[in-house]
Structures are given as C-alpha cells and as structure tokens.
Amino acid sequence: MTFSCVGFVSGDQPALGLGVEQTQPLELGDEVERLPDGRGAVGIDLRHEQRLADPAVDQHLVPEAGRWDREGRLPLEVIDTLRAERLLGAILPEKIGGGGLDAITYGLLTEQMGRGCSSVRSLLTVHDMVTLSFARWGKAELKEGLLGAMARGEKLGALALSEPGIGSDAANVETRVRREGDAWVIDGRKKWITFGQIADFFLVLGQSETGPTAFLVPADAPGFSRRPLEVMGTRASLVAELIFDGCRVSERHLLAREGRGFDLVVTQALDHGRYSVAWGAVGIAQGCLEASRDYAAKRHQGGKPIAEHQLVQRMLTDMIVETEAARLLCCRAGHLRETADPLAMAQTMKAKYYASRVATRVANEAIQLHGANGLSPEYPVERYARDARVTEIIEGSTEIQQTSIPKLPVEEL
C-alpha cells in the first residue's frame, strides 16, 4: 500500500496529504483579527482544497475502514505506511526525527484521518501523546536513540492510564509503584489501552509514596503482559488490558520526578489527546455529512430525491453548520497552541467537548436520514456513529468537560 498526493511532511519522502501544504506558525496580521481583549480570532480560510476530500484518504482509507472495523485489527502494512511517510510523530520537531507540522496543519491531518478511519486517527493520537511527553519529561540517558525512534514511528507508544476501577479519576489510579534497590516495581492493571496490543512503550501512571508517578515502560519489561479486548467503536485500534505483576524498570524510565506524574506528564499528554480527538471528531462529522448528501441525492421518495424534501434539507443544514462550527473551534485552539497562548489548554477543552458532541449528533442524524440502511454496516454512517461515541468518552469524557469548563478562570471563558 502506498499513499501519494500533495505532501504534508517536508523532505523527499512521499506523504499522505490532504491537499494542504505545510504552513508556517500563524502570526497576527492579515489572517488574524485582534479582539478587544487582545486575543486572536482565527480567520483562516478552510475552504477549497484545505477542506476537500483528499484523494489518498478516499482511495486507501475510506474503502478499507469498514473491513478493518469488522476484522477488529488495523493491518500492520498500514502502520508501516504511516511510519514510512512520517505521519507517526508528524507534530514532533524535525530535529528529533518528527514531521515538524504546525498545530493547525496537524489538526487538518487528524480531521482527514478521522474522516477516513478513526482507528488510524487513534494511532496518531496515542503515539504522539506519549512521544511528546517523553520528549519533554524523559531522562537524557533514555532519550538517546529511543526518542528519535519514537519520533519516526519506529517504536510505538501508548498511554496506560485507565484501569478496571478508575477511568476519569486519573489522578487516583490504583496501580502501585515502589522503589526496590535501584529499580522501580509496578503492580496493577490498565484497561482499554488503545493500541495496547502492539505498542512498544507505555506511558504508565501509578501511585508512589509521594503521589502519582509516571514511567515509560517497555513492553519487554519483566513482569509485564497484555491481553486483547473488544470495543464497540474504533474497533481496529487493537485495544488491550495491561497487567503489571511485579514489573521492574530502572530509574531512567521515570518521567519528570516522583509524585509529579499527573500534573506534569499526564496533563500534557491529555491536552494533546483532546486536541487530536477534537479534530478527529470533526472528521467523523464531515464523513457523515458527505455520506448523507450523497445518499440523499440518490435515494428517491415520492418521485424525487429525498434531498429535495425540506425536512431532509433541514437535517443537512444542521449537519453542515454544526460541523463547520466545530472545525472553527478546533482551528482557534490550534492557533492558540501555535502561539503558545496560556488560553490554549482551556480552548482545547472546549473544542474537544463541542466537536465530540457534534460528531455524535451528526452521526445520529445521518443514520436517521439513511433510515434502515443507516443501521447496516454496508453504509459507513453505522461505523461513524460507533466511532463518534468513543470520542465522547476518551481523553476526558463529555461529563468531565462539563464539570471542568465552568470552573475555568473568567479570563479563560
């Protein structure tokens, strides 16, 4: 399998592109208005080629996503292609082997992956969550050689946070870690770990005597094992349960410092995850919209295409406007991230909350528009609906966002 079209990633290698050239970090000027409070409002034109269906996604992901979903497995050759085209680690700096994409271009890439196959988008999300955290908080002696391999996607990372009894309350995980000589010993279980079946390294959070502590744990560490799990959505994302039974790692695998694993390491990882998932949710909504418009043009009732019925036109209008609104929220979050604005994390929370809910609403409308056909795996909206539900749960559920966003400082609202 090969992808070829306009490149996202710099260099001589071919890349799966979206019809969007790599952009430079946004600067306040013609593209960005200044609001009275001094914050930038994104005025990027996302029309034309930036939002058109990318030929590579349409050719290689959209036709195969249903089969991968049914088989419950993303083929390794697809992962090899993503690796070869530098899409794993695309947002990592080029100097360490990444693709060097800016935040908005990375978001557009993630949107298209969500439109094509949410399991592929999930791989990009979790791998970059771990690699970004490792790049910032990892010890120099472990980074040597390994960081470049992860930035290039040669070694895959996965986030090991959720547990059988702990989901959203991540700061109070039950996994225990303790020092034993010059090593750390980890005991506990992690559940619903995306790409946990094949990841080479895991960002693991456990409780030490001083509080939540994070580690980068290799899959070949003694005392580690894993088993596959089945899920309703993103079914090809090779979800697993991880078992740490006296799992031993050396001091160099510690991220940041003891007791600061949640507020320093995991918070950063979740922030990136929310940003990526938000854009992926926009991709799901866009996929539902495109499938629904196509179906409405071909399906006839009352002697004419259902697209000519006003009720269907109202449904499509809501889908179009909500999808665009979600995209613009994500774009604003991307601009704030690119300019290192302190409001970026809050805006990312809002974007993730809204975009994931939009994906679910648009997918539900798409199924309704398709009628009984919308319940069949022969039509993509059935898969989109299951994948949309996943986006409301992962990287901070809808309810977590609903309780967190109102608590933001006034200047971040």
The answer to whether 404 and 413 have CB atoms below 8 angstroms apart is no
> Domain limits of the chain?
32-140, 157-261, 263-412
Tell me the CATH number for domain 263-412. 1.20.140.10
Catalytically annotated residues: 395
Tell me the CA distances in angstroms from 285 to 77, 122, 345, 364, one per residue in order: 27, 16, 23, 10
User: What pLDDT score does 166 carry?
Assistant: 84
Q: What CATH superfamily is the domain 32-140?
A: Acyl-CoA dehydrogenase/oxidase, N-terminal domain (1.10.540.10)
Rounded (5°) CA angle 401-405-407:
125
CATH code, residues 157-261: 2.40.110.10
Per-residue pLDDT of the chain (413 residues; tens, 9 = 90+): 544 333 444 343 334 443 334 444 333 233 333 333 433 444 445 544 344 447 778 888 999 999 999 999 999 999 999 999 899 999 999 999 999 999 999 999 999 999 999 999 999 999 999 999 999 999 999 999 899 999 999 999 999 999 998 876 777 899 999 999 999 999 999 999 999 999 999 999 999 999 999 999 999 999 999 999 999 999 999 999 999 999 999 999 999 999 999 988 999 999 999 999 999 999 999 999 999 999 999 999 999 999 999 999 999 999 999 999 999 999 999 999 999 999 999 999 999 999 999 999 999 999 999 999 999 999 999 999 999 999 999 998 999 899 999 998 877 77
Q: Helix 267-298 vs helix 310-338: angle between axes, to the nearest 10 degrees?
A: 150
**Which pLDDT does position 386 carry in this prediction?**
98
Specify the pLDDT at position 1.
54
Of residues 21, 36, 65, 2, the one with CA closest to residue 284: 65
Burial class (CB in 10 A: 0-12, 13-18, 19+), 58: middle
| Residue 17 to residue 2: CA distance in whole angstroms | 12
Identical fold at 32-140 and 157-261? no
Phi/psi at 42 (nearest 5 deg)? -70, 130
CB 184 within 8 A of CB 249: yes
Whether the CA torsion 128, 133, 135, 141 is positive or negative: it is negative
**Which whole-number Å values give the CA distances from 396 to 36, 126, 387, 400, in the listed order?**
32, 14, 16, 6
